[in-house]
Structure 1
């Protein structure tokens, strides 16, 4: 029997998909133009990886689970399935978004250090510090942190979160993909 929450579920899907679309748009706008010597540096590789991840998320097919029972019950099961899929995709995009921001900070730091010059021995310490900062930032972008940023934002906006998947559910789904 339907519980009368299908409208709330549909609104939740729209909210998650709006966040997902915004993240996808941001990730599609990433542009870095490293020189041939810089192309394989950690930060530039990270930015390319984030763009590729975003495209892969878009290309992953949706595997809907069909509900059984009456129309309202089928709709309920389908909406729940869409919430889970959309939440997993948004989680993935949020992780790529946070990682890309770390890459952009690295790129901006590198550009500030070099000021249009070719890297030389006088830049070595500062460039190594920028690389270390990038690595530390990436280590801090854990699944727990990503999930926390999403939940905090949603909760602060008063969104209905009752049927959002837990981090453990998201991780389990990602392991099967």
Structure 2
């Protein structure tokens, strides 16, 4: 036994707490525009997809297969590592969703500033296109690598124990296994 199971337990609790907070924010984001004509615009479509993705990452089944280990402490270690991978990957995906939502909500604010209570017309079409392009650019920058490293830095800044955190590759494998 390596004596680290308490640290592993605390790490799992921290990551699960982060995931829960992210889920709260994801669920609280709007998905329906006030004006029905805006329903199919890029930002609102992105927000609806984020809500769907947030629900999926919450509802997808955990991988509960844990290899059998010798001794109670070693078995607990194996189970905690599996739970950490599950919670870590869910937090990772939830963070990506949250960042996409934030980009879409900035898009809404920018679009409203352009429209100033009016509707799209030929005079503001180029500004609205630029707004859409900005959203696409922001969404393209939200990659697994960026999110993984931002979460790592955040955890380290908070003084969390990260010695056995799953690799980005492990997180991506976990996520691929749960995609529809």
Please classify the TM superposition score into its range, dividing by the shorter chain length. Answer: over 0.9
Distance 2:32 2:58 in 1: 24
> 1:32: how far off?
4.1
Q: Could you say what secondary structure the match of 2:81 adopts?
A: helix
Q: How does 1:114-125 map to 2 (within 5 A)?
A: 114-125=115-126
Aligned-residue CA RMSD (Å): 1.1
Distance 2:126 2:172 in 1: 38
Contact persistence 1:65–1:77 (CA under 8 A): no
2:171 aligned with 1:170: yes
Q: Which runs of 5+ in 1 are unaligned?
A: none
Q: Could you say what secondary structure the match of 2:123 adopts?
A: helix
Report the counterpart of residue 45 of structure 1 in structure 2.
Answer: 45
Contact persistence 2:31–2:51 (CA under 8 A): no
Q: How does 1:1-177 map to 2 (within 5 A)?
A: 2-34=1-33, 35-66=35-66, 67-177=68-178
Distance 1:176 1:33 in 2: 30
C-alpha offsets along residues 25-82 of structure 1, whole Å, 9 cap, x if unaligned? 0000011432222111111000011111111111111122333221111111100100
